[in-house]
Chains A and B, each alone.
Chain A
Amino acid sequence: MAVGTIVWLGSEVMFFAGLFAIYFTLRSTSPELWEFETNRLNFPFALGNTLILVASSFTCQFGVFAAERMQARSTGWKPTQWGAAEWFFLTYAMGAIFVAGQIFEYATLVSEGISLSSNAYGSAFYLTTGFHGIHVTAGLFAFLFVIGRIFSVQKRNFGHREATSAIVVSYYWHFVDVVWIGLFLVIYVLK
């Protein structure tokens, strides 16, 4: 199951490689447009959002560690005593904050006149970040499914099947996180 997930993520890498190719091609054909539009992005806001998403990858991994020691639920309030469910709830919250931040950023940019159909920059920006946002949202649903699985078995019956689904969802989450780091560097840093 882990191998199948990795193979599928390989195909996802190819998909995002295509989106990066679109971005770089349009950028190379209209450099003045890029120079003008990229200066209108809110860099500190995007950096904060990025840090939240990167941190969520770490909380997700702590959830995996809990699942690997077959600990479904917490044994106390301290984070060292948390189980997979608590860590995944925290990861879910951070991912949700990231998506909400994306929507806020989109709304601001649209109000400033950058939209999907405004020009080549708008198309490239919303295509790349939008498809990434859809992936993050799908990951949030996957977290809900895994949390649901953890809660639908009795605590002592938490086993390899639940742990495996937690691990493969974490693979996906890390992948989405790494893609965002790439997108962030290309869109917000490499102006």
Chain B
Amino acid sequence: MRVNSVMLWILTVFFALVAVLYGVWTAIEYGHLEWVGTIAIALCGVLTGFVAFYLDRVYAAQGGELPEDRLDSNIDDGDAELGFFSPWSWWPIMVAASLTLFMLGLAAGFWMSFIAVGILVISLVGWVYEYYRGLFAR
């Protein structure tokens, strides 16, 4: 992250110099300042300056190097938290089946949809609380 912010600071200085050069050059060439280009180039410098400043602050606050900035790190050092996913749950199939029945009810006979809603409620509760009951209760 150190390198990222240094590169953006270099760009900021570059844009500042180019903005001045462009303004002076167009002023000599046309007799007046060319506002659109001068402002656009100057604002590019402001943009890179903002990002560089932000990265500096983040770098100072994180208290160390990120895995991607270290030569001795492994790929999995940079893994984000993936969350918890059940490897064998049957409940998603139940949810899908009850929704299928619900849509079938809309098309063929509405009485089926009432049954489907009942099964859907059971499936959703079963899915959400699969790891909160029985052996997994904590």
Contacts and interface: CB of A to CB of B under 8 A. Distances in A.
A1 B85 CA distance: 9
A157 B136 CA distance: 12
B129 interface: yes
Interface in A121-147: 141, 145
B82 A1 contact: yes
> Looking at chain A's contact residues, is the secondary structure mostly helix, strand, loop, or mixed?
helix
B70 interface: no
A149 B124 CA distance: 13
Interface in B107-131: 124-125, 128-129, 131
A149 B128 contact: yes
A49 to B, nearest CB: 27
B128 A161 contact: no
B25 interface: no
A3 B83 CA distance: 10
B128 A145 contact: yes
Contacts of B129: 148-149, 152
Nearest to A153: B138
Contact of B124 (A2, A3, A145): A145
B83 A148 contact: no
A159 to B, nearest CB: 9
User: What interface size band does chain B fall in?
Assistant: 10 to 19
B90 interface: no
A53 B82 CA distance: 31
B14 interface: no
Interface in B90-117: none
Contacts of B128: 145, 148-149
Contacts of A3: 80
Interface string A151-169: 0111001001100100000
B84 interface: yes
Given A2-B83, A145-B124, A149-B132, 10 more contacts: A1-B83, A3-B80, A4-B83, A145-B125, A152-B132, A152-B133, A153-B132, A153-B138, A154-B138, A157-B138
Interface of B: 80-84, 124-125, 128-129, 131-133, 137-138
Interface of A: 1-4, 141, 145, 148-149, 152-154, 157, 160-161, 164
24 contacts: A1-B82, A1-B83, A1-B84, A2-B83, A3-B80, A4-B83, A141-B124, A145-B124, A145-B125, A145-B128, A148-B128, A148-B129, A149-B128, A149-B129, A149-B132, A152-B129, A152-B132, A152-B133, A153-B132, A157-B138, A160-B81, A161-B84, A161-B131, A164-B83
